[in-house]
Amino acid sequence: DAGVTQSPTHLIKTRGQQVTLRCSPKSGHDTVSWYQQALGQGPQFIFQYYEEEERQRGNFPDRFSGHQFPNYSSELNVNALLLGDSALYLCASSGPEGLYEQFFGPGTRLTVL
């Protein structure tokens, strides 16, 4: 049973560019959440998707947007990249049997130059 997978593993972009990160949830899970983790900090909640709709959103600007597909996979898009967007982006999935039990992927390391 594959866990949560994310792609790409690493990414280098320059300021002002746009980036798309991808996530496939754990089998049987229908809810996907995205987090940003700066070095030495805990993950910060960006948003959560369920039934292809954004259900909750953290304190992140509109430059951060997402999408969930019918197969429950998800994308995180960040526009107009800033140096401060450099971080580990984590995807977590959960299912109907345990909304609070989030399983995390390995993350995508984004570096903005």
Partner 1 sequence: QKEVEQDPGPLSVPEGAIVSLNCTYSNSAFQYFMWYRQYSRKGPELLMYTYSSGNKEDGRFTAQVDKSSKYISLFIRDSQPSDSATYLCAPIGPYGQNFVFGPGTRLSVLP
> Where does this chain bind partner 1 (CB under 8 A)?
4, 33, 35, 40-45, 48, 56, 58, 90, 92, 99-107
Considering the complex, what minimum distance in angstroms separates the CB of residue 48 from partner 1? 8
Is residue 30 within 8 Å of 72, Cβ to Cβ? yes
Q: Which is nearer to partner 1, 81 or 91 (CB)?
A: 91
Q: Which residues contact 69 (CB under 8 A, 6 or more apart)?
A: 52, 75
Q: Which is nearer to partner 1, 52 or 101 (CB)?
A: 101
Considering the complex, what minimum distance in angstroms separates the CB of residue 98 from partner 1? 9
The span from the CA of 57 to the CA of 5, in Å, is 22
Is residue 34 within 8 Å of 46, Cβ to Cβ? yes
Q: Which is nearer to partner 1, 67 or 104 (CB)?
A: 104
Considering the complex, what minimum distance in angstroms separates the CB of residue 91 from partner 1? 8
Considering the complex, what minimum distance in angstroms separates the CB of residue 16 from partner 1? 28
Q: Which is nearer to partner 1, 20 or 37 (CB)?
A: 37
The span from the CA of 77 to the CA of 91, in Å, is 13
**How many residues does the structure list for the chain?**
113
- Take residue 73 and report the two structure tokens written for it: 């996979």
